[in-house]
Structure 1
């Protein structure tokens, strides 16, 4: 039996990092800028299998964290045991996630894990989320399986994802229980307030396109000037995992009105190029941080905590609530590969549940059952003692 480490005393160094490299897109490099060979071989395999650059970047960050942890505990990656994986999970559970330290964070920001009074949404906690921990385990398992099968690594120290009966849980060992979150769709009243607080045509065009097309943040940023076709009412985006390909998706007619108003005053107007630019010079393509700031400014004025993905949830909630739409229509419009993914969007919003409960409570209770006048009261009393005639 191995003794559990004091995970709070483990401090990870920053000697290694994830860097963008040719051909593979991303790699983990040491303090001298040299790519770590086992990870490079794994990323090469990922690239050969057609994974997107964003997936490779995500996997590199998970492996970087594991490499730093192994260095902190003095264990080589190819000598790690299941007990080391266990302590890695315990370290993730006990430490804050550095990604929560956003730029511009001030002391007045609501406490992590608190609930917003307007939206009912919970602010992100400081620690690593259960999904993040489970993803890290999946990446480690895939890496060690590849290393073992390719002949340069040990047997996979990460336990199987299947329940093996050792513990009274239905999950695989070290897999975290993922809480069921409330739906993130925005109510119609709150949407009106949000739209009213946006102060320029660019931000209004972004909001209406996101709300009427269900586009993700990255898909919004991939739009170009020539990728707007108001005739049939479609816009061109690079979908998640699209690997540079573009598809046309429908959007509401009013969103094209706001796009036209934005383009009429758009700085550095050109025949093509990125559609969304910063408003202040030097005018540059909008990146994810600048896009997030659009809603951060609105959140500060409204006291809310909306994100761009909330628009996608609202879009899907509207589609699934429309009886004229089929599930396959919703699947195609949401660009999901299977129908099971729609479950996360099909739950009723909190305000809808409150309204449904109020409708139920406003109805008088049903009258108690009474005996039919066609039967003798004494016979009913014998058959059903205590029933009031």
Structure 2
């Protein structure tokens, strides 16, 4: 293999774009720096659509492909001529360079991808490797790309049969992994402690925001799922709210009474500003003209509240908080929690049985305090008047 290029001096301009198209046949399109669609990516995304993948998956895969094509454009290598050398350098680039620094739109400066940004999480890099390996596998099968995939499988497992040493009493594992796929650590889902959640909730500026957060923390819905709710999907009588899952399926989720109280207050407050209709969005912007609330607007709202409260919680952490609260209820079966969260496997829901970090720290500190108290209780009392201390030490084996 050739020597690697000098990545320390490589600047990757943030050129090209993943464009959201108002077209159900072509929801997302990757364009090059001149605005011309990248046909190889369009064919891959169309194949994904034919396999029934939702537009959100096309966007996620498109962003990974955009990072890869920006790297290739900076190095001057066409995508169909990329080798394992480019794949290796790109994996190193994601690991060391990190996320690109984006200047504010008012500054007018040219954005570029240089070394020293916030590191990408291992899960992001692993997802990128999987997407790019699948992209080249698609073109290899179609006869439109390289003969060899620049993102190969791990050399130590390529020649082996899958699950050759599998124990039939244990579940199957994914034994074939990519050569440049990083190891993703198993992390405990981050939830919001009760004290921190109360501080955040007290800082929410409007009834709409309180209703949103109350629904998030009681239904366990994802941020985008709750924003898909329509006015006809909210049923206060049955305490149910209908959301659209990523698969397109509509699911009714039970919620708390407080959430519906805040929702009603929000509707009364915005009654003259929000268009009415059972199929219209349930959540709208507070500023005129009213528009359906988007994920990025809700995310920015929660960021501002975190700054005021001095916390660092995320909207997705509210889903973990709801899952922890439901899983810790002894009267609620774990299979019910699995259904509400929409997990395909019960093993995914079982991660919420792991104790929270805050609770572990509190119990261990209480343990240390109890040990200190018991040690103090075991300390021998001072001898009564008239007894010599050295004599008692000899008699009972004490230290002089």
Shorter chain as denominator, the TM-score bin is 0.7 to 0.9
Q: Please tell me whether Structure 1 or Structure 2 has the larger radius of gyration of its CA atoms.
A: 2
Q: Are 1:254 and 2:284 matched, yes or no? A: no
Q: Are 1:64 and 2:56 matched, yes or no? A: no
Change (3 A) 1:210 1:103: farther
Residue of structure 1 in register with 2:47 after alignment:
45
Q: CA deviation at 1:34?
A: 2.9
Q: Are 1:177 and 2:177 matched, yes or no? A: no
Q: For 1:7, what is the secondary structure of its paired residue?
A: coil
1:322-366 alpha-carbon deviations (Å, 9 max, x no partner): 122222111101111112322543322222002221343344569
Residue of structure 1 in register with 2:17 after alignment:
17
Q: Tell me, yes or no, if the aligned pair for 2:26 and 2:46 is still in contact at 8 Å.
A: yes
Give the TM-score normalised by structure 1: 0.81
1:48-84 alpha-carbon deviations (Å, 9 max, x no partner): 0010101111212211221222222222212211121
Q: Tell me, yes or no, if the aligned pair for 1:233 and 1:252 is still in contact at 8 Å.
A: yes
RMSD: 2.7
Q: Are 1:142 and 2:149 matched, yes or no? A: no
Q: Tell me, yes or no, if the aligned pair for 1:183 and 1:348 is still in contact at 8 Å.
A: no
Q: Are 1:290 and 2:297 matched, yes or no? A: yes
Residue of structure 1 in register with 2:143 after alignment:
151
Residue of structure 2 in register with 1:336 after alignment:
343
Residue of structure 2 in register with 1:235 after alignment:
241
Q: Tell me, yes or no, if the aligned pair for 1:26 and 1:56 is still in contact at 8 Å.
A: yes
Q: CA deviation at 1:181?
A: 3.7
Give the TM-score normalised by structure 2: 0.79
Which aligned pairs between 1:71-86 and structure 2 lie closer than 5 A? 71-86=73-88
Q: For 1:337, what is the secondary structure of its paired residue?
A: coil
Change (3 A) 1:102 1:212: farther
Q: Which 5+ residue runs of structure 1 have no aligned equivalent?
A: 105-124, 369-389
Residue of structure 2 in register with 1:225 after alignment:
231
Moved more, 7-16 or 350-359: 7-16
Q: CA deviation at 1:204?
A: 0.9
Change (3 A) 1:101 1:337: farther
C-alpha distance in 1, partners of 2:284/2:189? 31
Q: For 2:124, what is the secondary structure of its paired residue?
A: helix
Q: CA deviation at 1:311?
A: 0.8
Q: For 2:69, what is the secondary structure of its paired residue?
A: helix
Which aligned pairs between 1:1-389 and structure 2 lie closer than 5 A? 1-21=1-21, 22=23, 23-98=25-100, 126-154=118-146, 155-160=148-153, 164=157, 172-242=178-248, 245-266=249-270, 267-272=273-278, 273-364=280-371
Counting matched residue pairs gives 343
